């Protein structure tokens, strides 16, 4: 059941992302969205949570074995410069072409079929090392959840209901990652409303 929940969370997040992209007005693709990204660049970056599943499955698996999403994020954390990430997002956004929503729809349909037809223990060649599909998918669910929220904020849209399970799973993953960092105590204080958050925002 746990593996089915991982797959369902990822595919639900993909559908929520598709819903959001489908609501982007034609004149809003160049609207500022997040950091250096406009809406197209943010959409391009988020779409990599779809394309990398297919790309990494097709590559020969090599490198150290990573046993889950926490290990993945701790390994890649800080490994790519923000400038390189921003540029890759812009390039991926440009590659979506004249119909970004249509391109994302095709991506979601294709990757949904790939995930549903691939065994959970299939190996992927990720930047952190070799991972199974079921261990890698939560990292992509996390990306779709966070950047889905970013996109909704940029467009002034409500969070799509299908994103709810992905947000819950991503909060758990974020906590597990945070607990392994030297700043774990500061993060706990942040989450409990001690500092740095809008008034009244706390998990307790």
Q: Which domains are seen in the chain, by residue range?
A: 2-191 (1.20.120.450)
Rounded distance, CA 33 to CA 46, Å? 12
Classify residue 140 as exposed, middle or buried by CB count within 10 Å of its CB (0-12, 13-18, 19+). buried
What is the rounded CA–CA span in Å between residue 98 and residue 194?
A: 46
H or E stretch at 37: strand 37-38
With beta carbons less than 8 A apart as the criterion, state whether 87 and 98 touch.
Answer: no
> Both tokens of residue 30?
């160049």
Question: What letter does residue 126 receive in the DSSP assignment?
Answer: E
Listed residue (149, 182, 178, 72) closest to 203, CA to CA:
178
pLDDT for 192 equals 86
pLDDT tens, residue order, the chain (204 aa): 488 899 999 999 999 999 999 999 999 999 999 999 999 999 999 999 999 999 999 998 888 999 899 999 999 988 778 899 999 999 999 999 999 999 999 999 999 999 999 999 999 999 999 999 999 999 999 999 999 999 999 999 999 888 999 999 999 999 999 999 988 988 888 888 887 666 666 655
Predicted TM-score (pTM) of this structure: 0.92
Cα separation, 37 vs 57, in Å, equals: 28
Backbone angles phi, psi at 63, to 5 degrees: 90, 175
And the tokens for 106?
């095709």
Cα dist from 193 to 149, 184, 188, whole Å: 21, 15, 9
């Amino acid at each position: 059941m746990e593996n089915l929940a991982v797959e369902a969370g990822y595919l639900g997040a993909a559908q929520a992302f598709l819903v959001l992209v489908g609501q982007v007005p034609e004149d809003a693709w160049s609207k500022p969205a997040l950091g250096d990204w406009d809406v197209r660049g943010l959409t391009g970056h988020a779409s990599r949570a779809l394309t990398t599943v297919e790309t990494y499955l097709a590559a020969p698996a090599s490198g150290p074995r990573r046993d889950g999403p926490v290990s993945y994020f701790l390994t890649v954390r800080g490994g790519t410069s923000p400038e390189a990430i921003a540029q890759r997002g812009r390039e991926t956004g440009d590659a979506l072409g004249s119909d970004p929503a249509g391109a994302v729809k095709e991506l979601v349909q294709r990757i949904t079929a790939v995930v549903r037809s691939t065994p959970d223990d299939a190996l992927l060649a990720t930047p952190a090392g070799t991972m199974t599909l079921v261990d890698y998918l939560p990292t992509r669910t996390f990306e779709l959840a966070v950047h889905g929220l970013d996109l909704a904020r940029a467009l002034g849209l409500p969070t799509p209901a299908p994103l709810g399970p992905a947000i819950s799973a991503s909060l758990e993953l974020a906590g597990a990652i945070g607990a392994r960092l030297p700043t774990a105590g500061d993060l706990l204080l942040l989450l409990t409303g001690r500092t740095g958050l809008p008034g009244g925002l706390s998990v307790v």
